[in-house]
Amino acid sequence: MAVIRDVMPAFELFQPASLADAVSLVDRYATDAWILAGGLDSFDWLKDRIKRPRYVVDLSGVAELKGVRESGDGVDIGAMTTLTEVVRHPVVRERYGILTEAAEAAASPQIRNQGTIGGNVSQDTRCWYYRSGWSCYRAGGNICYADTPDAINREHAILGADRCVAVNPSDTAPALITLGASMVIRSVAGERVIDAEDYFVGPGTDITRMNVLQRGEILAAIRLPGDWAGSRFYFEKVRDRQVWDFALVSVASAMTLSGNTIQNMRLAVNGVAARPLRLVAVEALARGRARDEDTAAMAGELAVQGAQALRLNAYKIPMMRNLVKRAIRGVEPWTIS
């Protein structure tokens, strides 16, 4: 249980200067190694003494993992690039505005200065039952305390729950899925590249993890293709307060139009399931239809099919429905007459 704060248990700290050294270290100490990026998720775990790794591999000294580089018609973003750097990068701002918006919506300026994009997509869930150290499914136990008749579960999942009802807290994840990003993963065995939407896993597939990173693997970079660069984007994050808060529900979409007809689109939501969800059925429905209220209403209804509310989060169903509608038809700026 979280009884001692601010005093971390002892661990051996490694600060490699190259990616090769980093993957070698996480391979050598695979079962006991903790990978430290910006530390904003990690230090909560360590200071609460709920995670007690024997070895911590701090990636902050690995220059190869930092920065935004143009590559072909897209860009490669090093996993250790801070959210502030992502937000301020001119190419990202110009071509991938949705990522700028999403990264800028994360937490607070101080946290964005320290937090990395790799950490943002790889962070653990914020379910407080789990983070309090209780023996829930996600922690290797046999119950979900957030899915009980008297649970405090206002922020939890309405879709994709499978024993665990935690949600993914990343702001940048739905934007990256919408942009068709790829995740570049390195290990001593080499490099593998997977689609952003396949980077995240739900509890049905693996209840103790939120992404596909295996022991000994490091997320090295995020690759943005040029396919959706400069298209019409929409990002919205609904939260209880406008700064330093996780999304209750967020939506990200990219679309190309021919006149007022939706030619192609990608749409993803987060905060509603243990993984950010790409809504492929909604995309298929919208494709070829007029970008109007009717299409938006149909898409909104389709998006929430199968949603199942817990005790305190039924509000997320209309919220998700409306966010999907807004992502498709857009939002007119408010005017005060």
Partner 1 sequence: MDYLLTWGHSPWGQQILTHVSWNLLWASLFAGVAFLLAHASYMVLSAHRKRHPDETDAMEASRPHLSARISRHSLTARLFHWVMAVAMFVLLFTAFLPIAGVKFAWVTWHWMAGLVLAASITFHMIHATFWMDFWSIWVGPKDLPELRAEILREFGHDVPGPKPGKYPLGNRLYHLAIVVAALSVIASGLTMMVRVRTPLFTRNPYLLGDATWGVVYVTHGMAGVALVGLVIAHVYFAVRPEKWWITKGMIVGWITRRQYLEHHDPHRWVVAETARRAETRTP
The residue ranges that bind partner 1 (CB under 8 A) are 1, 134-135, 139-145, 147-149, 161-163, 201-202, 204-206, 308
- DSSP annotation string for 44-91: HHHHTTS---SEEEEGGG-GGG-SEEEETTEEEEETT-BHHHHHH-HH
Nearer CB in complex with partner 1: 18/135: 135
Tell me how far, at minimum, the Cβ of 150 lies from partner 1, in Å: 9
Tell me how far, at minimum, the Cβ of 203 lies from partner 1, in Å: 9
Tell me how far, at minimum, the Cβ of 103 lies from partner 1, in Å: 29
Tell me how far, at minimum, the Cβ of 37 lies from partner 1, in Å: 24
Nearer CB in complex with partner 1: 143/314: 143
Angle between helices 293-303 and 316-329 (to 10 degrees): 140
**Which residues make Cβ contacts (< 8 Å) with residue 42, sequence separation at least 6?**
34, 36, 56
Nearer CB in complex with partner 1: 103/213: 213
- DSSP annotation string for 134-154: ---GGGTSS--GGGSTT---T
Q: Which tokens go with 44?
A: 């909560």
**Cα 123 to Cα 276: distance, rounded to the nearest angstrom:** 13
Q: What are phi and psi of 269, to 5 degrees?
A: -125, 160
**Cα 210 to Cα 23: distance, rounded to the nearest angstrom:** 20
Nearer CB in complex with partner 1: 84/313: 313
Nearer CB in complex with partner 1: 139/298: 139
**Cα 76 to Cα 93: distance, rounded to the nearest angstrom:** 14
15 dihedral zone (left: phi>0; alpha: psi -120 to 50; beta): beta
**Which residues make Cβ contacts (< 8 Å) with residue 20, sequence separation at least 6?**
none
Nearer CB in complex with partner 1: 6/150: 150
Helix, strand or coil, per DSSP, at residue 223: strand
Tell me how far, at minimum, the Cβ of 149 lies from partner 1, in Å: 7
Nearer CB in complex with partner 1: 16/203: 203
Tell me how far, at minimum, the Cβ of 263 lies from partner 1, in Å: 33
Tell me how far, at minimum, the Cβ of 22 lies from partner 1, in Å: 23
- Which of 78, 79, 97, 95 is closest to 87 using CA atoms? 97
Nearer CB in complex with partner 1: 205/263: 205
β-strand 277-278 against 261-270: which pairing, if any?
Answer: antiparallel
**Cα 147 to Cα 277: distance, rounded to the nearest angstrom:** 20
Tell me how far, at minimum, the Cβ of 275 lies from partner 1, in Å: 12
